[in-house]
Amino acid sequence: MPCYQLEGITPVVHPDAYVDPTAVLIGDVIVGPDCYVGPCASLRGDFGRLILKRGANLQDTCVMHGFPGTDTVVEEDGHIGHGAVLHGCRIGRNAMVGMNAVILDYAEIGESSIVAAGALVKGRFTCPPRSMVIGAPAVVKRELSEEEVRWKYEGTLEYQELARRYQRAMKPCDPLTEQEADRPRMRTNKIAPKGEEAAG
């Protein structure tokens, strides 16, 4: 992975984390155990500190950044969908940020909440635990059900297992020129989408 020390501060990646070789880590970045950082993610710790706590995932093309002196934090088991932008915010334990959502400075997403795909969460926004957050600008629509919280957590467990799968079995290769007649499928657990609100 492209990893850069800046002014004497070096990114930290726990040995049990997986960071894709195309992700970029600069400066004050801390990636905890069992984390997954996807292809082309950008963690630019040149002003504020960026922290992924145990079991968090930051998927393809996500961006983390923050103002000087701030912490941008994804708490334990946080789940950040493809293309999301986190800037100087805090994502609570077991919360999910949907694809292409933007979370701005000093916003705090409560534990076990879901921010819908494409949402724009304004600076200093806060929500209680187990909130469904939707819209641009985002608002709390309702409380999440036990089933939705469980579905989210199961999805996060898939990404923790994905980190282990990549560590075990991903390797560079040349593409085939034709599809095999008996081409196998990837083996994963069940996870299926729950609808448009929870896409991520």
The residue assigned the tokens 């710790």 is 45
pTM equals 0.92
Per-residue pLDDT at 190 exceeds 90: no
In whole angstroms, what is the distance from residue 43 CA to residue 37 CA?
10
CB 15 within 8 A of CB 34: no
Per-residue pLDDT at 199 exceeds 80: no
Per-residue pLDDT at 192 exceeds 60: no
Query: What are 117's two structure tokens?
Result: 């795909």
pLDDT of residue 90: 98
| Sequence-separated (6 or more) residues with CB below 8 Å from residue 151 | 191, 194, 198
Query: What are 158's two structure tokens?
Result: 């898939």
Percent of the residues in the chain that have a pLDDT greater than 90, as a whole number = 92
Could you please report the per-residue DSSP string of 64-123? EE--TT-EEEE-TT-EE-TT-EEES-EE-TT-EE-TT-EE-TT-EEPTT-EEPTT-EE-T
Query: Does 44 or 191 have the greater pLDDT score?
Result: 44
For 45-64, what is the mean pLDDT? 98
In whole angstroms, what is the distance from residue 33 CA to residue 194 CA?
28
Per-residue pLDDT at 179 exceeds 70: yes
Per-residue pLDDT at 129 exceeds 70: yes
Coil, strand or helix at 25: strand
pLDDT of residue 133: 98
pLDDT of residue 187: 77
CB 55 within 8 A of CB 77: yes
Average pLDDT, rounded, for the chain: 94
CB 49 within 8 A of CB 71: yes
The pLDDT tens digits for 139-153 are: 999 999 999 999 999
For 27-53, what is the mean pLDDT? 98
Query: Does 4 or 198 have the greater pLDDT score?
Result: 4
The pLDDT tens digits for 64-90 are: 999 999 999 999 999 999 999 999 999
For 160-169, what is the mean pLDDT? 94
Task: Label residue 191 by pLDDT band (50, 70, 90).
Answer: low
Percent of the residues in the chain that have a pLDDT greater than 70, as a whole number = 94
Query: What are 37's two structure tokens?
Result: 């950082």
CB 69 within 8 A of CB 29: no
pLDDT of residue 1: 83
Domains and CATH numbers, the chain: 3-143 (2.160.10.10)
For 94-107, what is the mean pLDDT? 98
